[in-house]
Chains A and B, each alone.
Chain A
Amino acid sequence: MSSVVDILLWGVLPYVVLLVVIGGTIWRYKYDQFGWTTRSSQLYESRLLRIASPLFHFGILAVLVGHIVGLVIPKSWTDAVGVTEHMYHMLALTIGIFAGVGTFVGMALLIYRRRKTGPVFMATTANDKLMYILLVVTLTAGLATTILSLWDTSETSYRDTVSPWFRSIWILQPDVAAMSEAGLSFKVHVLFAFVLFMAWPFTRLVHAFTAPLHYLFRPYIVYRSRDRVTRSGSVPTRRGWDPVGTQDRHNSGYRRSGSGSTRREKTGSGRR
């Protein structure tokens, strides 16, 4: 029998996370298109960014692919095509460590750059800082599980515990027992990931959800007609989200002469 804590953590929490991620994303997409951006800081600094950002992003994409393979493809399938446990483990480890370390180094460089480059640090919001903390702990925990498994081979393979549980979530029959069998390092990693996912829709990480893959297929030149929908522009459209960094600086020790306070016009047309 699974304990109450196990049921709450591995049976209930995943659905709470899913609700927050899906609901939060829909809500933000509806109410905060204007805040939905990468908020790139390349204008301030690009020498470090040119190395760190691709390292991090390509790394994290490889990590993502690794997770999909590890979690989605059942062990029986790989067994069927004749991949032994040892082969699989070695492959996953090499690729995982490469991708993980790459991502980690990229992120470390990005954080260093963010702290050390004056304008970039100035542009960092509390939201960003929280996001970085969540990213760091989740990534560290994940990398740690990979590296720990080098020494501790006694631990049951996550393909018998975490993966079945992960797949069971999607058919609404969470296999709590399987997950409660998993090693502590996995549990920690998953829990951090839960927090990260719940924060996802409310940080700038949302830019990942609008990865522009359709760019490969759309025509180069885009024509659009004026809006046919009646909308009174004099009525301020209310945002459901605090504007991300569009206010003038208030507390930086000087005043800007003559500038208004918080103007939020959407210059360059905001009509869809």
Chain B
Amino acid sequence: MRVMAQTAMVMTLDKCIGCHTCSVTCKQAWTNRAGTEYVWFNNVETRPGQGYPRRYEDQEKWRGGWTLNRRGNLQLKSGNRLQKLFGIFASPVQPELDDYYEPWTYDYENLVASPATDDFPVARPKSLITGKDTKVEWSANWDDSLGGTANTDEQDPVLQKIREQSEEQIRLEFEKTFMFYLPRICEHCLNPSCMASCPSGAIYKRSEDGIVLVDQDRCRGWRQCITGCPYKKIYYNHKSGKAEKCTFCYPRVEVGIPTVCAETCVGRMRYIGIFLYDADRVTEAAATPDEKDLYEAQLDILLDPNDPEVQRAARAEGIPEDWLEAAKKSPVYTLAKELKVALPLHPEYRTMPMVWYVPPLSPIVDLLRGQGHDGEDADVLFGAIDSLRIPVEYLAELFTAGDTDVVTNVLRKLAAMRSYMRDLTLGQDPDESIAEAVGMTGSQIQKMYRLMAIAKYDERYVIPTAHLEEAHGLEEMGCSLDVDGGPGMGQMGGLGEASGRPTPVAIENFNALRARQTSEDPTGNSELSGRVNLLNWDGQGNPDGLFPAGQGDGAARGDAGGSR
């Protein structure tokens, strides 16, 4: 047993309202540069729908992920090592810009610079690739909320598969009423096929926290990773000629704050925590012969952080004590392994993805309500889950390689939670038979409810920080002048305001966030009470409150690096 730690995320799809805040904030933080206009480290897809890039799930076409060869060993679906090298001069199955979309902006300047004419000036769309006029025809979420899906639904690879399997024709009417959102980031897989495809060996998994990154200095632009990733979450920066991907916001996670997408999620649907897993058994688990057993195999390699044997092995591997503590409190472990309500996305790709999803019950509840039923009655819900095959089959294709039993069980647990908790909320005695019907206990249901409905910031995000003894290795750290009263402190160097070295962004973020999270005042303005508003300051003298209170604040900043 070789214990390793993995940072992972769970998303509860019932709570996703499809607002794209995560996508927008992520883009602002990471990919608002030339060359990455079409790059969405985080995107939100409407299902049924084609996804982004279009039809990325059709692996017969894109050849992403792993497959088993004749001897039952793992092999990249796009070919063995030699085949990959021979195909290096023109990657045969790399998506083109058309499969994503041609990024554009608008010629806003024309609105103000246009000479007087009879017609109103318009801001025409301009391609960000060619700079010429363009026609906007597709984007990262063009079929948002089923927009146009009635015309393109036959292009959803998942629906296609279900159609081929089911004997009766799926009625379009029903599809129109069935919809949910699927936010996607990089899966930070345990067995990443992008990494295995990289000829240069530039993609690596950090042994401390399992985050998968592209070494920008060693990437040579062979672009095999784009084919290799079945989720198409590696993008080619067409300006720098390098591959880029979601970084799990490692500069934030290292100091214990959640990713941008999680931090800004309006529905609070994201959970971040760590798993302990057995690195020695990853390949074996990924090579499980039957696709439908992959979900179980993936659960199997996740280790119980409360098991003394696991703890002993983890310590032997040098996993720090506070990481072991975090693993015990990990919300992702609770949801994925303990309660078994979170499922991996497309386990059949055999990459062991580490972003998990609690499948949505709401399409079924909505349907029941629409038909005049009680959407929170256990029996009605259980019956509906069993009889409404289409949503279940669709979810099973996404999360369990088509095994509907697993999805049904998860949905039944979610349904049981609603009914069970309704009794409690209405002051009645809880009906333990509801819990028993889904193989749970009342206290487990309450734990699930607590985590899914109430969990506060520090319960949703249990992120151990990177270690103090390693702090100097972290980027943006270590200005030796940032001591209390030193010239680097508060951005006051020897040459007046804002001189000296800037405060590293991660530390600034860390302090601002902590102030906001711990402050009584949600706006964080209490920090500023008693301070002079510099906009109104006449520049004369040195009034009280011109500078922040020195002592305590300075000490807090000094240790901000990772000793939490």
- Chain A interface residues (CB < 8 Å from chain B): 33-34, 36-46, 49-51, 53-54, 56-58, 118-119, 122-123, 204, 207, 210, 212-216, 218, 220-235, 243-249, 252-260, 263, 265-272
Contacts and interface: CB of A to CB of B under 8 A. Distances in A.
Contact of B84 (A215, A230, A271): A215
A52 B240 CA distance: 23
B213 A268 contact: yes
B201 A218 contact: yes
Contacts of A229: 473
Secondary structure call for the A interface: loop
Contacts of B216: 34, 266-270
Contacts of B479: 232, 234
27 contacts: A39-B241, A40-B223, A42-B96, A43-B238, A44-B96, A44-B129, A123-B239, A210-B200, A216-B82, A226-B208, A231-B472, A243-B240, A245-B35, A245-B239, A245-B240, A246-B240, A249-B34, A249-B131, A257-B108, A266-B217, A267-B36, A268-B213, A268-B214, A269-B250, A271-B215, A272-B215, A272-B218
Contacts of B132: 118
Interface residues of B, number: 80
A28 B94 CA distance: 29
B219 interface: yes
A33 B81 contact: no
Contacts of A247: 34, 239
Nearest to B502: A234
B34 A259 contact: yes
Nearest to A216: B81
B186 to A, nearest CB: 10
B81 A248 contact: no
Contacts of A265: 33
Given A123-B239, A229-B473, A271-B215, 19 more contacts: A42-B96, A44-B238, A51-B90, A122-B131, A207-B220, A216-B82, A221-B196, A226-B208, A226-B470, A227-B473, A228-B473, A234-B479, A234-B504, A245-B241, A248-B34, A260-B33, A266-B216, A268-B242, A269-B216
A46 B90 contact: yes
Contacts, number: 219
B91 A122 contact: no
Nearest to B35: A246
Nearest to A220: B196
| Main secondary structure on B side of the interface with A | loop
Given A123-B238, A212-B85, A249-B131, A46 B477 contact: no
A268 B466 CA distance: 18
Interface string B236-260: 1011111111010010000000000
A230 B473 contact: yes
A228 to B, nearest CB: 6
Contact of A119 (B35, B130, B219, B472): B130
A143 to B, nearest CB: 21
B204 interface: yes
A256 B33 CA distance: 10
A246 B241 CA distance: 9
Contacts of A255: 108-109
B55 interface: no
A222 B195 contact: yes
B370 interface: no
A202 B384 CA distance: 66
B477 A212 contact: no
B191 interface: yes
Contact of B195 (A51, A54, A220): A220
B531 interface: no
B207 interface: yes
B164 interface: no
Contact of A37 (B31, B91, B242): B242
B474 interface: yes
B473 A58 contact: no
A221 B222 contact: no
A260 B501 CA distance: 21
B121 interface: no
A222 B201 contact: yes
Nearest to B250: A269
Contacts of B220: 36-38, 207, 210, 212
Contact of A254 (B35, B96, B105, B204): B105
A222 B203 contact: yes
B120 interface: no
B204 A234 contact: no
A216 B244 contact: no
B89 A268 contact: no
B272 to A, nearest CB: 19
B89 A54 contact: yes
Given A207-B220, A233-B477, A271-B475, A44 B97 contact: yes
Contacts of A259: 32-34
A224 B90 contact: no
B375 interface: no
A46 B85 contact: no
Nearest to A263: B33
A254 B131 contact: yes
Interface in B24-38: 30-36
Contacts of B472: 230-231
Contacts of B213: 268-269
A268 B244 CA distance: 6
